[in-house]
């Protein structure tokens, strides 16, 4: 058991906390804001429905979860009324967003699946096939 933390540190190292020295930006804008490219923030959320945001008269669908900070971002910027996913599952859809191509065009049609997953599914099927045996006296 004493080796588990050591293994975690090797597999996923985390640096110690420390001060970060940020470079100071310019005092004045280098060009007219109307001539600069826009600042774009893309928020990608898996499994979020259209009316899960209170901006779209929902708030987790029934108004029980309000999202005022996300609403203010939308009200101050651009709101998209229609959206389309390049794939029905998360990994290929994200790959399409990052590359700008349909995931099927570069061989990323499916979510990656580890080899152990096949073994686990086989165990589940084997367990489901076993009938419970009742003893009768």
pLDDT in tens, 22-76: 888 888 878 887 888 888 877 777 677 777 888 877 777 777 888 888 888 888 8
Q: Residue 137: what pLDDT?
A: 56
pLDDT average, residue stretch 85-113: 83
**Angular region, 69: left φ>0, alpha ψ -120 to 50, beta rest:** alpha
Is residue 16 classed exposed, middle or buried when 0-12, 13-18 and 19+ CB atoms within 10 A define those classes?
A: exposed
CA nearest neighbour of 44 among 76, 78, 3, 91: 91
pLDDT tens-digit readout, 120-136: 778 878 877 765 665 66
Report the Cα–Cα distance between both ends of the chain, in Å, rounded: 46
Q: Indicate the pLDDT class of residue 12, thresholds 50, 70 and 90.
A: confident
Q: Residue 131: what pLDDT?
A: 59
Domain boundaries, the chain: 38-83, 85-119
Q: Residue 75: what pLDDT?
A: 86
Q: Residue 21: what pLDDT?
A: 87
Q: Indicate the pLDDT class of residue 116, thresholds 50, 70 and 90.
A: confident
């Amino acid at each position: 058991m004493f080796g588990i933390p050591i293994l975690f540190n090797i597999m996923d190292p985390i640096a110690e906390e420390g001060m970060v020295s940020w470079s100071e930006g310019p005092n004045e804008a280098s060009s007219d804001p109307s001539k600069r490219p826009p600042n774009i923030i893309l928020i990608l959320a898996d499994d979020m429905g259209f009316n899960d945001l209170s901006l779209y008269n929902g708030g987790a669908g029934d108004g029980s979860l309000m999202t005022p900070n996300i609403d203010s971002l939308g009200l101050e910027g651009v709101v998209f009324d229609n959206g389309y996913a390049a794939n029905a599952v998360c990994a290929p859809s994200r790959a399409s967003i990052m590359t700008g191509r349909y995931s099927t065009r570069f061989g990323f049609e499916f979510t990656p699946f580890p080899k152990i997953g096949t073994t686990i599914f086989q165990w589940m099927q084997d367990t489901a096939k076993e009938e419970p045996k009742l003893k009768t006296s």
